[in-house]
Structure 1
């Protein structure tokens, strides 16, 4: 009977030792949330700390501090879930060999292998308010002036106003050249050189000469036959 009691006592003590060893292998992730310009009472009750996408969850206290308990050793992603604000994410690495030593770094989704260390306990800052809708475009004078149709309307008016002032300050020779250029541009289409008519005249003249030469040669041949 005594031997049985001794065996039961040893089994119970071994189980307690195993549970104690398992409890000692779990750690806590601690930190603080900072939102400038907002009272903690307005957002703390809606904010949660998610580790590994919700595998472990923590709550924010009235002073902005948070603690996520029962976290095993390894690499863990820590993010803040808030309906009104966006926060930076952090990755916490808990070492099992060095008695739970923790290191924290920023999360860079573009370069996941990049290591940018941050101090621990964590201090997570907001990146701004969460925007769920795209802002409506506003009318701006700059956009209206950059419109090509507006430029086509405004530039001739500017030229009409500026050119007379420029010509008034020019010398007599420059004025004459300007008037000649304006007269060239103000010519009617009938007064200007027509390339198509010139080409047609050349080719039609050549064909008429050829036709008259052929007619004369035919007349000479018929006269010889007679």
Structure 2
């Protein structure tokens, strides 16, 4: 019995009651706290509701480091870290989930009893983005179209400015003549390759039928004697 009493007394001595209140701000007045609002210790190990005046109390909190969150529907409240030592005062600091908590000796403590305040409202709707003119101009298709329009307006003026200079006009004329010669040469070469031998081949093709020798005679000529003998024989038979 004595041992159990000592253990109970020591556990009671190491536990503490957390007290605090929700202070009013321009975002949320302390008298307008929703009925569902409450504070949660260590992600649900202990919880308590707010009283009508905004105060709250959590009993029998053991010594150590604890995370205290305020769940107020529609509002955002800064979570805090409460460090309850075995001896000494309670230390309070802001809680950032992305950072490790600082040592109690490295940062001054926030007021105790705890003072919680809403710093913003929860936004469940995100407005669609408006028209972004700069974003449209950065599009590759828009840039290509603008470049084409610029060239269509600027190229004639650049050409006129170059032709007004005699030296530049002479150089441009020589370049055009060179391009024309290259074009004519390429067209002539293409026509020769397509014709299969050029003009000589075409003339040979036209003269081909007249130059073909008759079959069975050397050189294609018929001996006159045989032609006469043949005609005579045919005439005799008719008589």
2:10 corresponds to: 21
Provide the rounded CA distance (Å) in 2 between the counterparts of 1:39 and 1:110.
29
TM-score, L = length of structure 1: 0.56
Secondary structure of the corresponding residue to residue 30 of structure 1: strand
2:223 corresponds to: none
Provide the rounded CA distance (Å) in 2 between the counterparts of 1:40 and 1:211.
104
Provide the rounded CA distance (Å) in 1 between the counterparts of 2:64 and 2:192.
96
Q: Report if aligned partners of 2:22, 2:30 keep a CA contact under 8 Å in 1.
A: no
1:50 corresponds to: 40
Provide the rounded CA distance (Å) in 1 between the counterparts of 2:163 and 2:127.
51
**CA 1:18–1:134: 2 relative to 1, 3 Å:** same
TM-score, L = length of structure 2: 0.53
Aligned-pair distance for 1:51? 0.2
Provide the rounded CA distance (Å) in 2 between the counterparts of 1:123 and 1:106.
11
In structure 1, list runs of 5 or more residues that go unmatched. 1-10, 164-172, 181-192
The size of the alignment, in residue pairs, is 173
Provide the rounded CA distance (Å) in 2 between the counterparts of 1:72 and 1:119.
20
**CA 1:77–1:201: 2 relative to 1, 3 Å:** same
Q: Structure 1 residue 106 and structure 2 residue 106: aligned?
A: no
1:211 corresponds to: 197
1:124 corresponds to: 116
1:166 corresponds to: none
C-alpha deviations, 1:35-76, integer Å up to 9, x for none? Answer: 423332221533211001121112323443332211001121
Secondary structure of the corresponding residue to residue 78 of structure 1: strand
Q: Decide which structure has the larger Cα Rg and report it.
A: 2
Secondary structure of the corresponding residue to residue 46 of structure 1: coil
Provide the rounded CA distance (Å) in 1 between the counterparts of 2:7 and 2:101.
38
Aligned-pair distance for 1:95? 1.9
Provide the rounded CA distance (Å) in 2 between the counterparts of 1:93 and 1:22.
17
**CA 1:126–1:179: 2 relative to 1, 3 Å:** farther
1:11-90, aligned counterparts within 5 Å? Answer: 11=1, 15-37=4-26, 38-43=28-33, 45-90=35-80
Aligned-pair distance for 1:78? 0.4
C-alpha deviations, 1:63-106, integer Å up to 9, x for none? Answer: 4333221100112110001112111111112222xx25422222
- Of 73-82 and 205-214, the range deviating more from structure 2: 205-214
In structure 2, list runs of 5 or more residues that go unmatched. 165-178, 206-210, 212-218, 220-239
- Of 199-208 and 72-81, the range deviating more from structure 2: 199-208
